Amino acid sequence: MQSFLRWVGLVILETFRLNILLTGGLGYVGSHVAVVLTEAGHQVTILDNLSNCKHAVLDRLTKILGKEPTFIKGDVRETSLVESILKTHSIDSVVHFAGLKSVGESVLDPMLYYNNNLIGAISVLKAMQLCRVKKFVFSSSATVYGSPQYLPIDEMHPLNPESPYGKTKLQIELILRDLVASDSGWKVVALRYFNPVGAHDSGLIGEEPNGTPNNLMPYISQVAIGALKRLKIFGSDYETLDGTGIRDYIHVMDLAEGHQAALEYLSEPSEPLSIINLGTGYGCSVLDLLKLYEIASSRRIPFEVTERRPGDIASCYANADKAFKRMGWKSKRSLKNMCEDSWKWQMSQALKK
């Protein structure tokens, strides 16, 4: 009887097991998604050119998962390489993370962004078309909304990205719209992330910004560890409760589970293209995040208030209802969890040095 049940279990597992290609899968978000999908019984293959991550992430994933994920070093713009990976690994779904993501850098060097992000996405889609692989999850961003006209931001909010980076995200979404209209076989989910923060609770993987961080939580964590002197708070005269900027911070593991939900949603009868916010639905100010991080790290975090950062907005947070209605997903982890896991990751990084 027991062996029969084990056999039934194996059949069920095989039926629901997906072979998933993660482009950019050694990066911050992709590595956490690799953990969640592998632990859910799916088979992941990672393609990354290592332009913004370290090869060591693969060893850390192996430690977490107890087995090494399949990894290919290469560039998504090499269409024949993507094609051969899709065939060799019998891929049925692709999650496309690979891309550059710095707003400031994209303003200074827009061609770098149009080349990498746009040509990269077109190349992956072309290879998928050639191999008749038609399930695609795309890492989009809340930056496509531009300055909010109302809050919380739902998916119907007007689109007005302000940087070349944001424009590449919107242009890829438009390409996806045309693609699904041209061929009813495609099933696509574009996930618009709000502000991913935190790390896997093992402390083995997390965000590793190059040089001085631009984003708030990595900056706070480096002040807490003593690598940076003090946090500069960009403006305390916004129209918010404490005058500092408000954002929708989402734990990267919640975000990762959102990808699992999206892939499973693609296997059900669903609309050809779904555009879905991944956020918590709650805003948190810079000062509130700072205080929570002080508690999580048991350290005082020095700060000074400086000028507003050009291009920043007062408040931005998601209406996350669609993700729940369509995919049954909502965020579970608190700001306290985000700060604690970020601190654990920061401490483990410091120990390595």
Among ligand NAD, ligand UFG, none, residue 61 binds (CB under 5-8 Å by kind): none
DSSP for 58-121, written as a single string: HHHHHHHHSSPPEEEE--TT-HHHHHHHHHHTT--EEEE--S---HHHHHH-HHHHIIIIIIHH
Among ligand UFG, ligand NAD, none, residue 232 binds (CB under 5-8 Å by kind): ligand UFG
Q: Which SS3 state, helix, strand or coil, does residue 217 take?
A: helix
Stretch that binds ligand NAD, among 98-106, 228-236, 256-264, 332-340 (CB under 6 A): 98-106
Give whichever of 103 and 119 is closer to ligand UFG, judged by the CB atom. 103
Binding ligand NAD (rule: CB under 6 A), the pick from 21, 35, 95, 99 is: 99
Q: Which of 12, 321, 332 is nearest to 154 (CA)?
A: 321
Q: Which of 169, 191, 195, 206 is nearest to 27 (CA)?
A: 206
Q: Which of 66, 195, 83 is nearest to 143 (CA)?
A: 195
Residue 12's contacts (CB-CB under 8 Å, 6 or more residues apart) are: none
Counting every residue, how long is the chain? 353
Give the contact letters, 37-56, x = binds to ligand NAD (CB under 6 A), - = no: -----------xxxxxx---
Q: Say how many Å lie between the first and final Cα of the chain, rounded.
A: 53
* DSSP 8-class letter at 143: G
Binding of residue 262 to ligand NAD (CB under 6 A): no
Give whichever of 95 and 170 is closer to ligand UFG, judged by the CB atom. 170
> Which positions lie near ligand UFG, rule CB under 6 A?
101, 103, 141-143, 193-195, 214-216, 219, 231-234, 245, 247, 286, 309, 312
Among ligand UFG, ligand NAD, none, residue 206 binds (CB under 5-8 Å by kind): none
Closest approach, Cβ 90 to ligand NAD, in A, equals 21
Closest approach, Cβ 334 to ligand NAD, in A, equals 19
| Residue 240 region by backbone torsions, left for phi larger than 0, else alpha for psi between -120 and 50, else beta | beta
Tell me the two tokens of residue 299: 């350290």
Please, which of residues 154-193 interact with ligand NAD by CB under 6 A? 193
Binding of residue 75 to ligand NAD (CB under 6 A): yes
**Contacts to ligand NAD by CB under 6 A:** 23-24, 26-30, 48-53, 75-77, 97-99, 101, 116, 120, 139, 141, 193, 196
